[in-house]
């Protein structure tokens, strides 16, 4: 096992801050006052082996899973690690989407997995071609990894598409890990989890992105019950118990989620229209409009054609205009940049005008 630097993580923590930050992928954080919770009854200590039961039930209830399928985690990040460590042996194949969020490559790589890739190209609207996926399916793959909504593009795979990919994986004896940390940005009726679509699907997610609740670090794994003991074994190697006050707060927040979501959509939906209008008026940019969420992955139409228009734009914006976007190089394609639009409309408009100036 060898833990190499994760360049995107380091940049996100220390290099992405700017007066106008269009690099974020989560909603601005809420306060305790926003939630209106009475905190006096939060206990410091309690009985919660492998997760506090009311939290497990809240997660299970929202996603139609049995409580025996739920493992609470510290964010989606820890869920990635727990699942990979539970399932992968040195040299096992892991078939990961491209472009990908870097930790989804870094974690299996650190565990000694053999990383192989399937494409989600711009030209295919960041979708997966099931025939190409199957034709390229490498021998020895134990785990397929994808995001839904896709990070960086915000594109959604429909349940039937996920089911098709899971069917291919099953024929090769592989499991499918679906990272759904952005799924809850979709409207309630459209927000179907992949968990349960096939019995080789494992889902990971958290409350960190779509609700302004990142500080709770409330994440989870949803896995077929036969896989849960292996995940719990990894928990036993990492920590004794989850953070009890956070588990209680998180359980209390679950009944509020739909209301929080409705409130945030009131201002994020118009922001999407602002971005659409901007990109459609700007011949030097192309995009695939995201199906949900507050990020998109536009491409810079680059006359110099050195293939790094997105990275160059990001550098110029930061150096001269105190404006931050994510250089596409962190998502394996320097022609692009990831644009976050979950900020007040006036700041978004200023950020977009700065982009126009530096294109």
Binding site for ligand PLP (CB under 6 A): 25, 75-77, 101, 147, 151, 179, 181, 206, 208, 219
- Name which of 251 and 321 has its Cβ closer to ligand PLP: 251
The residue (of 147 and 334) whose beta carbon lies closer to ligand PLP is 147
DSSP 256: G
In angstroms, rounded to a whole number, what is the distance separating the alpha carbons of residues 207 and 204? 11
Tell me which residue has its CB nearest to ligand PLP. 75
Shortest spacing between CB 107 and ligand PLP, in angstroms: 10
- The C-alpha torsion from 98 through 196 and 79 to 62, rounded to 10°, is 120
Least CB distance from residue 26 to ligand PLP, whole Å?
Answer: 7
Beta strands in 267-344 (DSSP E): 285-286, 295-296, 299-300, 323-324, 326-327, 337-340
Distance CA 277, CA 28 (A): 23
Between 298 and 354, CB nearer to ligand PLP: 298
* Nearer to ligand PLP among residue 180 and residue 311 (C-beta): 180
**Cβ at position 77, least distance to ligand PLP in Å:** 3
We find the least distance from the C-beta atom of residue 7 to ligand PLP, in angstroms, to be: 14
Token pair belonging to 268: 């994020």
Cβ proximity to ligand PLP, 147 vs 164, nearer residue: 147
Nearer to ligand PLP, 211 or 287 (CB): 211
Rounded CA-CA distance 28/304 in Å is 37
Residues β-bridged to residue 97: 118
CB hemisphere CA count around 113 (13 angstroms): 31
Q: Distances from the Cα of 198 to the Cαs of 30, 70, 315, in angstroms?
A: 35, 16, 43
Shortest distance, position 171 Cβ to ligand PLP, whole Å: 26
The β-bridge relationship of strands 337-340 and 326-327 is: antiparallel
- Residue carrying the six token digits 């209830």: 61
CA gap 181, 144 in Å, rounded? 17
Q: How far is the CB of 356 from ligand PLP (least distance, A)?
A: 27
């Amino acid at each position: 096992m060898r833990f190499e630097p994760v360049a995107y993580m380091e940049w996100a923590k220390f290099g992405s801050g700017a007066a106008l930050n269009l690099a974020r992928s989560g909603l601005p954080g809420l306060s305790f006052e926003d939630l209106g919770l009475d905190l006096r009854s939060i206990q410091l200590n309690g009985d919660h082996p492998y997760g506090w039961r009311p939290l497990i039930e809240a997660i299970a209830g929202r996603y139609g899973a049995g409580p025996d399928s739920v493992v609470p985690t510290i964010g989606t990040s820890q869920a990635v690690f727990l699942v990979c460590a539970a399932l992968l042996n040195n040299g096992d194949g892991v078939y990961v989407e491209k472009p990908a969020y870097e930790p989804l490559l870094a974690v299996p790589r650190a565990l000694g997995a053999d990383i192989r890739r399937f494409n989600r190209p711009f030209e295919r609207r960041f979708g997966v071609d099931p025939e190409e996926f199957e034709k390229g399916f490498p021998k020895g793959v134990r785990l397929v990894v994808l995001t839904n909504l896709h990070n960086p593009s915000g594109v959604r795979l429909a349940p039937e598409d996920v089911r098709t990919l899971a069917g291919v994986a099953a024929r090769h004896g592989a499991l499918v890990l679906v990272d759904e940390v952005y799924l809850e940005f979709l409207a309630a009726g459209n927000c179907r989890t992949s968990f349960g679509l096939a019995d080789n699907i494992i889902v990971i997610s958290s409350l960190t992105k779509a609700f302004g609740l990142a500080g709770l670090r409330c994440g989870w794994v949803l896995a077929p019950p036969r896989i849960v003991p292996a995940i719990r074994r990894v928990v036993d190697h990492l920590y004794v118990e989850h953070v009890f006050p956070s588990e209680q707060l998180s359980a209390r927040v679950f009944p509020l989620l739909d209301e929080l979501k409705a409130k945030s959509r009131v201002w994020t939906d118009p922001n999407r229209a602002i971005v659409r209008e901007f990109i459609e008026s700007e011949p030097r940019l192309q995009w695939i409009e995201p199906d949900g969420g507050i990020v998109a992955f536009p491409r810079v139409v680059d006359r110099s054609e050195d293939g790094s228009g997105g990275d160059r734009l990001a550098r110029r914006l930061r150096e001269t205009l105190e404006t931050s976007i994510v250089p596409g190089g962190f998502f394996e394609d320097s022609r692009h940049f990831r644009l976050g639009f979950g900020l007040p409309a006036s700041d978004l408009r200023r950020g977009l005008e700065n982009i126009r100036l530096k294109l």
